[in-house]
Amino acid sequence: MTAKFKSTMTKIDFLAEPGSFRDPSGTVFYHGGSVYRSVDDRTFALMQRLRDDGLLRRLAADRLIVKTDLVPDGGDLERGLREVSGAKGRFLAHETVPFISYPYEWSVCMLADAGILHLELQTRLLERGYSLKDATAFNVAFIGGRPVFIDLPSIEIPRRLDVWVAYGQFCRMFVFPILLHRYRGLGIRECFLGALEGPSVTDTRRMLGFRNSLRPPAFVDVFLQNLLHGAAQKRIARKTQDAAGLSRATSSAPQSGHPCAAGPSPAAGDQRVQVLNLKRLRNKLTRLTGRHAAHSAWSSYEQTHSYDTAGDDEKVDFIKENLSAMRPRLMLDLGCNTGRYSRLAVDAGAAVTAIDADHDCIDLLYRRVRGQSPNLLPLCMDIADPSPPRGFRHRERKSFEERCRFDAVMALALIHHLLVSARIPLTDLRDMFWSLTREWLIVEFVAVHDPMFQQLLALRENYYQDLTPDAFESVFDAKFTIVTRREIMQGRRVLYGMKRKEAV
């Protein structure tokens, strides 16, 4: 990671991460295929202290934080980074994340595990006198089937150890969405659509309703915190006569909404109250998500699909053969369901991002792979309505397509869904695949007379009488070269291995 800087590298391959602009201590950027962060001298000194304490190494070894090196001062790498970035501070070198995902693309169990990561990291930091100054889910990436913290400048030496200043943000990012999912059936994506930083305590109390807010899992963090928030707002309103009064009201208001603010504060150095609260929050997330069960029809697709044994075996053989020939490093599986074929790609050596619109399918897949360190990232997303750019000027969080740099794309038993249910023309689907892959495409054609296609056409007018393998191939020939082709299921389905045409 701290290899000698190559003088041939120029600013051409320098790319700043727009999502890091809010951090006054530094900026993330990409250069030469690696990830770096410029930080100010104060932050770098803290990182040196964490390194010298051995804490940086232990946290990375336990996969709580992303592996990070401090770039030595005065070396070729440091001088080269300063030249291309224009930064005046110091530099950190981070482990590369195969694919950056966002919380509105996660399943409920993924969000809970990202929250538990925060709580575990905060507990470990407290033991050594450190703390996290914020608790946003955007500080987490999933690597090897588990969440990893990636924003090291969020670590600080706190003024107090008894109260976590990031408690309120933690609730908005993790506790509230999971409660709303549990008691109101609200999707994780919907929780972040209206507010990138998650629903407020007031909105959560309103959406949960009075009775649900009084339930044990919601009472402290929603009902009580909402009361404290309301009382704080009233105090602020009464003390707006002058700037000094406003300052006192703001500082006395429990900005994080911590329940401990309701009574006398313990000693500033006593961390036991915070540790108890962290354990309480961890138990809450574990219990809430441990009760979640899959109910969707697609979550049992592996047992209810229309393939016979011979057709299923032929499909698996075709995929294995093509993966062996293509040897993709990064792969996207569209409409992955519960990830059977995604796992074939992982076995072939690819780092796979697997997406599906069905939350329960993604949640089941994540439960199967988490903690096992496979190169498989499940994401809940409808490819007909993928994640748009979000945040300030639509640049803070990139769209799904902006983040796509895949060597190969796999779309099995998907196109007929997008044609019929989403009403997307075949030419547009072809163009989408072309934009998502850098080289390879594995795709499945489903004939109109196939039972699954006919099921989608129920109560719909059939506009697809002319959709034949020849017509399908003619459309894709404009941007892909067919390399391999195999008919299965008595011709009801055709599997293709295609190569992207560069000059289009």
Q: pLDDT-based confidence at 270, cuts 50/70/90?
A: confident
- The tokens describing 398, both together, are 């990139």
**Mean pLDDT across 487-501:** 95
pLDDT value for 48: 97
What confidence tens digit (pLDDT) does each residue in 301-314 have? 555 555 678 889 99
Which whole number is the average pLDDT over 418-441?
97
Task: For domain 297-500, give its CATH number from 3.40.605.10, 3.40.50.510, 1.10.10.410, 3.40.50.150.
Answer: 3.40.50.150
More confident residue, 232 or 295: 232
461/483 Cα distance (integer angstroms) = 34
pLDDT higher than threshold 90 for residue 5: no
pLDDT tens per residue across span 352-395 = 999 999 999 999 999 999 878 689 999 999 999 999 999 998 98
Residue-range domain boundaries for the chain = 11-94, 103-290, 297-500
Q: What's the CA gap between 135 and 132, in Å, rounded?
A: 7
Would you place residue 240 in the very low, low, confident or very high pLDDT band (cuts 50, 70, 90)? low
User: Largest alpha-carbon pair distance within the chain?
Assistant: 82
* Mean pLDDT computed over 193-209: 94
Question: For the segment 21-51, what is each residue's pLDDT rounded down to a tens digit?
Answer: 788 888 999 998 899 999 999 999 999 999 9
The pLDDT of residue 3: 41
Q: Is the pLDDT of residue 12 over 60?
A: no
Query: Distances from the Cα of 257 to the Cαs of 53, 245, 273, 472, 486, in angstroms?
Result: 32, 20, 15, 57, 60
Q: For residue 25, which phi and psi values (nearest 5 degrees)?
A: -90, -10
* Coil, strand or helix at 486: strand
The two three-digit tokens of residue 470, written as one number: 């020849």
pLDDT for res 307 = 65
The residue assigned the tokens 């959406």 is: 207
Confidence at residue 255, expressed as pLDDT on a 0 to 100 scale = 46
pLDDT value at residue 7: 39
CA–CA dist 201, 224 (Å, integer): 10
Per the prediction, the chain carries an average pLDDT of: 88
Burial class of residue 208 (count of CB atoms within 10 Å of its CB; 0-12, 13-18, 19+): buried
**Where are the alpha helices (H) located in 54-187, listed in sequence order?**
55-61, 76-85, 108-127, 167-170, 176-184
Distance between CA atoms of 189 and 460, rounded to whole angstroms? 29
Does residue 201 contact residue 257 with C-beta atoms inside 8 Å? yes
How many angstroms separate the CA atoms of 147 and 133, rounded? 19
Which strand (E) or helix (H) includes residue 498?
strand 493-500
Name residues whose C-beta falls within 8 Å of residue 73's C-beta, 6 or more positions apart in sequence. 90
CA 149 to chain centre: 12
Q: What are phi and psi for residue 349, nearest 5 degrees? A: 105, 5
In three-state secondary structure terms, 385 is strand
What tokens does 123 get?
């507990």
Tokens at residue 198, please?
A: 């998650």
DSSP state at residue 388:
P
Ordered DSSP codes for 456-470: HHTTS----TT--HH
pLDDT given at position 62: 96
CA gap 135, 451 in Å, rounded: 48
End-to-end CA separation in angstroms for the chain:
37
Number of alpha helices (DSSP H) and beta strands (DSSP E) in the chain: 21, 16
Span 462-474, average pLDDT = 95
- Of all residues in the chain, what percent carry a pLDDT higher than 90? 74
Radius of gyration, CA atoms only, the chain:
25
In this structure, which amino acid lies at residue 143? I
Backbone angles phi, psi at 99, to 5 degrees: -150, 125
Q: DSSP string of 200-262?
A: -HHHHHHHHHHHHHTSHHHIIIIIIHHHHHHHHHHHHHHT-SSHHHHHHHHHHS-TT--GGGG
**What are the residues whose beta carbons fall under 8 Å from the beta carbon of 22, sequence distance 6 or more?**
396
Task: Check whether 252 has a pLDDT greater than 50.
Answer: no
Counting residues of the chain whose pLDDT is more than 70, the rounded percentage is: 87
Residues 9 and 166: their CA atoms lie apart, in Å, by: 40
